A and B are shown apart, each in its own frame.
Chain A
Amino acid sequence: MDKMTLEVLRTGGRKARYELKYRKGMTVLDALVEVREKQDPSLAYRHSCRMGICGSCGMNIQGTPRLACQTQVSSLGKETIKVEPLHGMHVIRDLVVDIDPFLAMHTVVRPYLVRRDLNERDRSDREYRVLSEEVARFLQFDYCIMCGLCYSACPTVALDPDYLGPQAIAQAYRYMADPRDEGWKERVDLLDSAHGVWRCHVAGSCSFVCPKDVDPAKAIQMARVEVLKRRVLRKMARAGSPLVSVAPSGVPKQGTKAPPFDFPREEAK
C-alpha cells in the first residue's frame, strides 16, 4: 500500500475525501495532521500527546470508537479509512464533540478519597500502609484516561442520557475498592438508583472499545455486588439480625484477615 484515502464526516453531514501518501507506521492521527497541514486547514479534530495517554483524539474509525493516535492505518486493512465524530455526543465541529455531559458524570460519583476525618486526611507527614495486592484491586480502573470511547459505545447511554455511564461507574468502583476510602455507603446509594448500575445491559461494548484495558463492564458488575450487599445489610439491620456485625461493608478482602475498609487504616511509622 503506498496511498490511502481518508474519508471524514464533516460538520453538516458532508463527506470529505482526502488522498494521501501512505508511510510505514502511519497512524490515523498522522493522516489527519497531514490533511490539516497540507490540504485543508479548516479540518477540526482534537489531539495532543500522540502516545495514547491524554485521551484527546477519540473518534469513530471504521465504525468503532478508537484513539486516532494509536490506530495504525495498516491495522485496518483498507485503503479508504472512514472517520466520524464519536457517536452519541453532540458534534461541535467536524470531529470535535461536546464531552462536557460525559465529564459531568465523572464528578457526580465523588471521584476522590472520602475520609471522615479531614484533618487526618490532609495531614501529610505519614502515608497509609497499603499492600500491593490491595492496590491491584483498584489500579486497573484508575487507568481511565477519560477519552469517552466507552460512553460513546454504550447502548444504554444512547437511550438514557441521565445514565451515569460506564466511565463514571468504573470510577465510583475504583474509589470504593480503595482500602483508604470511607465513602462506600454514599457511592452505593448513588449507584443504586434509576440511572445507576441497574441500567447496564451487560452489552460489554465499553470494555471492547476501551483503549487502556480499564474493563468498565467488570467494574459495573463488581459495583452491583456492592449495591446488593448494602441492600442485604439494610434488610438485616431492619430485622435486627445479629449477622450484621459479621458481614462487612466495603469491597471484601480476598483471603486476608485484615479489617474491612471502613475501619481506620493503620498508618506507617
Chain B
Amino acid sequence: MVEVIDHDVVIVGSGLAGLRTAVEVMSAQLGKTPSLALVSKLALMRSHSVAAEGGTAAVLYPEEGDSLELHAWDTIKGSDFLADQDAVWKFVTLCPEEMRQLERWGMPWSRKEDGRIAQRPFGGHSFDRATYAQDKVGFFEMRTLYDKLQEFDGWSRFEETFVTSLVIEGGAFKGCTAIDMKNGRFVYLRARACVIATGGAGQLWKFTATSVSTTGDGIGLAYRAGIPIEDMEFMQFHPTGLIPTGILITEGARGEGGHLLNSKGERFMERYAPSKMELSPRDVVSRSIMKEIAEGRGFKDEDSGLSYVRLDLRHLGREKIDSKLPFIKELSMKFVGLDPVSDPIPIKPTAHYTMGGVPVDGNGRVLDESSREVKGLWAAGETACVSIHGANRLGSNSTAECLVYGRLVGRDVVKFLTTKQEDPSGTASPDVAREETRVFDGLLRNERSEEDVYAIKARLKEVMDRSVYVFREGAGLADAVKEVRALKERFKGVKANDGGRQFNYNLQDVLEVGAMLELAEVVAQGALNRTESRGGHSRLDYPKRDDANWLKHTLARRTENGPQFSFSPVRITMWKPVERKY
C-alpha cells in the first residue's frame, strides 16, 4: 500500500530557490500557517547552491552610477537577446530588496569601509554589482536561509526523499510520488501546490562544476509529466573549471583582477574581447579559451590528458587572495596541491548552468504546451526557464534569480492557497499505482541487470563532452543524438542490482540516469536543430546569429519516439537585438 501524506504545499528541492520559497510561504500572514513539506533527495543543507562562489547581482547604489536599466541591458545583451525582456525587468527591480532582506536575516556580506554592503566586478556587467561574502556567496546565502527557516514551526523535512513522478490531472497538480531513501517506502505526497526547485542538469557532462546530485531531476519530472521543456540546448560552460575534476574556480577570481594566460604567457583575451578582457561574459571567455587550445597555445595535463590554460592570480598578492578569495586558495591547495599566491591555476571550460528548463510565467507558474498554466504547479531557480538568461547567463544572476523567484513564487503560492479549491482528498490517482509498478517491479526486480547503468552513464558523459561542448557542429551533434538514442535502448535492460530497502543508492542512480538520457536527447537534438550560433550555443558550421530564423525559444515535448519540437516567440519589450561585441 502506498502511504498518502497530505500538505498544503510541497517544495521539491532545498537549494536557494527552494529555501527562499519556503521562507516566504512560512512568513505568510494567513489565518493559519500552511503545512509545508520540504522535500530533497539530499539532507537540507547539502544542495549544490552551497557551491556558488562569486556574487549575487543587484543594483544597490544607484547614486554611485549603477541603474536598473543598465542591469537589464547587461542581462539582455549577455543573453544574446534570447531573454524575455519583461521578465528581466521584473527581475532586476527585485534584486536589491533581496540583498538587503538577506542582510537583515544575518547574511555575512563583505563590507565597504563605511559598513555598507560591498560589491565586486563580474563578467558582462558594466558596473560593480556582484554582491559578495568572500568567495562563498551561495554557501552563506544557504546558511542564512536554512537558519532563518529554523525560526518557523509547521514545516516538515522530507530529507533524502527522491521524487519519482508528478501527478497532473485535468491541467492541475495533484501530488508527487517519492521513495523515502531512509527506509525504502514509496509515498504519495499530495498537496494543493507544488514548487519544483531541483536545480540544473550539469551532470550530463563529465567535466562539470556541478555536484553529483545535479542530475536535472525536476526538469525530467516535468518532461515526463508532459510539460514541454524550453531552450535545453543552451548550456553554460563556465570558463574556469579546475583541472582535472571541473570543480568551480569563481569568476570572482577574475573580478578581483585575475588574468588568463596561454602557453606563451599572453593575456589572450586581448584578441577576442579587447574592452572587457577577462570580464567578458562566460560564453565569450569559454570560446576564447577553446580557440587558444585548438590553435596549440594551451597546456596539457599528462595525468588526465586534458588541455588547459592558466588562471593567474599571483599579482594579486597574498593578502588580497586570503581576504577575498580564501575558498579558491583552499580548493587549489586541497585538490591540486598548489598555492595560487605562487602558482597559476590550470583551468578549462566546465559544464555549469542550464539556461533552459521548465517554462514558467512571470510568477513562476509552470506552463503547458499551449502556454496555459498548470494549476498548482510552480518552478523556480535553475530548474525554471523564465527566461531571464536566454542563450547565456551572466555570472551572479543565478543566485539572484533563485532569491527573487523564490520570493515571487512563495508569494504566489500563498495567494493561491487563499483561493477556494476542491478538497484534495479522495482516492489516489491510478498514476500512483502505475508509478509504483514502474519503480519497484520494473527497476528493482531481484534479477541481475542485463546492462550496467554506470557504463551507460559514463558513455553518456563522454559523448556530451565530445560533441555537445563549447563548440558544436552538425556531424558531431547528429552522432551524439544517435549515440544517446542507442544508450536509451540499452537502458531498457537496466535494473537495480542492489535489492536493499534502506539507502538504495543504486536504485536512485538508475532513476537518475533514466531521466538524464531523456534530457540529453533533448539537448543534443535541440542543438542539432538550431542552425545558428547564439550565446552558449556555438556552431562551427553556422558561426553567425540568425535572428530572421532563430530569434525564438525551443520547446521540446516528450513522445514515445523522442522529443517533438516547437517554438515560441521571444518577448522583446525594451531593446531590439543588435550585434553583440565586448
Contacts and interface: CB of A to CB of B under 8 A. Distances in A.
Interface of A: 23-25, 36-38, 41-42, 44-56, 70, 72, 92-94, 96, 99, 103, 106-107, 110-113, 121-132, 135, 138-139, 142-146, 175, 178, 180-181, 268
Interface in B112-137: 113-117, 134, 136
Interface in B35-62: 42-43, 45-48, 50-51
Interface stretch (B284-292, B331-339, B386-394, B435-443): B331-339
Contacts of B469: none
Given A112-B150, A122-B101, A54 B111 contact: no
Contacts of A127: 99-100, 103-104, 109, 116-117
Interface string B192-229: 00000000000000000001110000000000000000
How many B residues are at the interface, by size bracket?
A: 35 or more
17 contacts: A25-B336, A44-B500, A47-B212, A48-B211, A49-B51, A50-B247, A51-B331, A52-B331, A56-B43, A112-B147, A122-B104, A124-B104, A127-B99, A131-B115, A139-B134, A142-B140, A268-B116
Contact of B48 (A49, A55, A132): A49
Interface stretch (B4-12, B268-276, B502-510, B567-575): B502-510
A138 B107 CA distance: 11
A156 B505 CA distance: 33
Contact of A50 (B136, B182, B211, B500): B211
Given A70-B335, A145-B50, A41 B498 contact: yes
Contacts of A139: 108, 134
Nearest to B330: A52
Contact of B497 (A23, A41, A51, A144): A41
Given A99-B43, A268-B116, A178 B106 contact: yes
A51 B139 CA distance: 12
Contacts of A125: 97, 100
Main secondary structure of the interface of A (DSSP, over half): loop
Contacts of B500: 42, 44, 93
B110 interface: yes
B496 A41 contact: yes
User: Which of A47, A112, A138, A139 has the most C-beta atoms of chain B within 10 angstroms of its own C-beta?
Assistant: A112
B48 A121 contact: no
Contacts of A48: 42, 46, 48, 211-213
Contacts of A143: 136
6 A-B pairs closest in CB distance: A129-B115, A124-B101, A37-B454, A41-B506, A42-B498, A49-B211
Given A92-B503, A125-B100, A127-B116, A107 B106 contact: no
For A49, A112, A138, A268, the residue with the greatest tally of chain B CB atoms inside 10 Å of its CB is A49
A39 B236 CA distance: 34
Given A36-B505, A112-B105, A113-B104, A54 B45 contact: yes
Interface string B82-107: 00000000000000011111011110
Contacts, number: 158
A42 B506 contact: yes
B142 to A, nearest CB: 10
Contacts of B99: 127
A248 B99 CA distance: 31
Contact of A56 (B46, B109, B503): B46
A268 B212 CA distance: 41
A53 B212 contact: no
Contact of A128 (B104, B140, B148): B104
Nearest to B246: A50
Nearest to B41: A48
A100 B331 CA distance: 29
Contacts of B148: 112
Contact of B111 (A45, A51, A93, A131): A131
B422 interface: no
Nearest to A175: B106
A113 B105 contact: yes
Interface in B434-492: 454, 458
Contacts of A51: 51, 247-248, 331, 335
B105 to A, nearest CB: 6
B244 interface: yes
Given A92-B503, A96-B503, A25 B244 contact: yes
B127 to A, nearest CB: 18
B147 A111 contact: yes
Contacts of A144: 143
Contacts of A178: 106
A139 B212 CA distance: 28
Contact of A49 (B50, B104, B106, B503): B50
B106 A180 contact: yes
A47 B458 CA distance: 18
A50 B502 contact: no
B50 A54 contact: yes
B27 to A, nearest CB: 7
A54 B147 contact: no
Nearest to A126: B100
Given A56-B43, A142-B140, A112 B106 contact: yes
B245 interface: yes
Contacts of B117: 127
A92 B478 CA distance: 46
A54 B505 contact: no
Contacts of B109: 127, 135
B579 interface: no
B303 interface: yes
A113 to B, nearest CB: 4
A111 B50 contact: no
Contacts of A23: 303
Most chain B beta-carbon contacts within 10 A, residue among A36, A51, A175: A51
A138 B27 CA distance: 27
